[in-house]
Each structure stands twice: as structure tokens, then as C-alpha cells.
Structure 1
Amino acid sequence: MSFGRLERTQGPQPMSEINMTPLIDVMLVLVVIFIITAPLLASSIKLDLPKTEAAQAGDVPKSVMVVVDKSGQTFLGDKPLGLDELATKLAQTAKLNPDTEVQLRADAAVPYGRIVEVMGTAQKAGLNRIGFVADPTPNVTPQPKP
């Protein structure tokens, strides 16, 4: 009688790495499910709203650009205006949205008094948020003093 060999070959070794393929498959299926169901969750009540011109939202500017050139001339956007005309336009803008920011761009050669006049005009018109626009200077490392 023979019982065969006493030595046996070892079977397959257990895996020491995580198999990522099933995890990736499950995640992709979940992404597809979320992509399909997200638009359905956004608006669950269907309405047929009435139409009227009064309900249209106006184009309210969030900021207006006021420019003062070297000669002291003021511009609203690209249009040259005097201080009285500027005050009228800014008052109309403030009536539409009092939180509108005035972005003030002034040439470096403009006297300080002229800038204050333009700022006062904007504040009298009801626009209290004023931002100054400047060009960034290049990073220059300070030289050590001898």
C-alpha cells in the first residue's frame, strides 16, 4: 500500500494587500446615484409662477468705478463728469443699492484735496463704502543699511 508523498505543496498564499477594485466600483456607483438624484432633490415643488415686468430683478451694480486723472477730471466708468453730475449719478446708484462700493482710482499726482472732494460727494450721495484701487508694487527686498 502506498499513501503517496509525505511532503505536500503549499497552496496559494494569503494576500497581504487590499484589493481596491471593489471599493472603487462601489464609489463610482454611489457617485452616479448622487449625480442622478441631486437635481430631483433641488426643487420638489413645481410651480407655474405668474409673469410680470415689475418682478424682474434689476441689474444692481455691486461697485462703481470713479477715476480721477492727473488734471483732476472725474470719470464714472469711462464717462467724464463734473462733481454735480457725479453726485447725481451716485445718488441714483445709492437709491438702487445703498451697499454699493465706490472704487476710487486716482493718479498719484492728484492733490489730496481733490480726492477728499470726490469722497465727500460719494458720501453725500449715500455711498459710504469707498475702496482705493492701487497697483501692487513688485517685491523688493530692503537693502541693509551700512
Structure 2
Amino acid sequence: MGGSGGGRGGGGGRRRRRGRAGVMSEINVTPLVDVMLVLLIVFMVAAPMMTVGVPIDLPKTQAQELNSQTQPITVAVTPEGVIYVGEDVVAEADLISTVSALAVNGTEERIFLRGDTSANYGSVMRVMGILSGAGFTKIGLITEREPG
């Protein structure tokens, strides 16, 4: 039992040291990766909920997505013909006054028109006609991208 080093595996109990214990210059990225993964999961769950809250079954197309710098005004038409501006129900007669009150840039404001797949085509076109008749020229019809 009488070996030197007291169980340290040889070497006579000597340790090499470069003076004092040096500063560790490595970055521990494990906490950063953990935080980023948690944020990724949170945004993946929250992103679908950030759309306007009117449940509409949008038609599918192969058109490219629009790139918009500002938040547009969203007008939706349900299958029953009910008109929403944002999440508020609006009568057809009050549509222009409601949209004009929200339009920061006047008639140059971008308006997204969302029409349910089973909504009457005439209802959606009537809303579009009312908006364009009031002078709004930047009206976009919103669809969902076809899979594939």
C-alpha cells in the first residue's frame, strides 16, 4: 500500500501549474441554446394566434405572399355575409366611416380583404366595390398558400 501520491495514479503527487489558475476564456453556450429553443417553441405556438381573430376558411392559391411595411386594415366577410373590420362587426352602411377612421394614410392605406371560401362571391365583391368606390386603391384579397 505504500505508493506515493495517495491514489492519484502516480506522478509523485506533483501537479503542473502555470502559476495561478488562469481565467477560463471559453463561452458556455448551453444556457444560450436553452433560451433560444424555448423562444423558438413559444413563437411557433404563438404565431398562428397573432392573426386577426375572425375564423374564416380562406381559399388556397399559388400566389406569392405580399410584403407590407405597415400593418394593413383587415376587412373580413364571413359565409353569412357579416362584415368585420379587424375583430369588430360593422354594418355595410358604416364600413367606409369605420375604415376611414382607421386609415392613417387616408385612401392610400393598404386594406386586406379576407373572404371565406363558402362566402357569397357577390358579398365579397360588394365590400370590395364599396371600398374602391370610396377611393381606397390598395385593396388586396387574402388567400392561404396551397400546400406543395
Give the structure-1-normalised TM-score.
0.49
Give the structure-2-normalised TM-score.
0.48
Larger RCO of the pair (alpha carbons < 8 Å, separation 6+)? 2
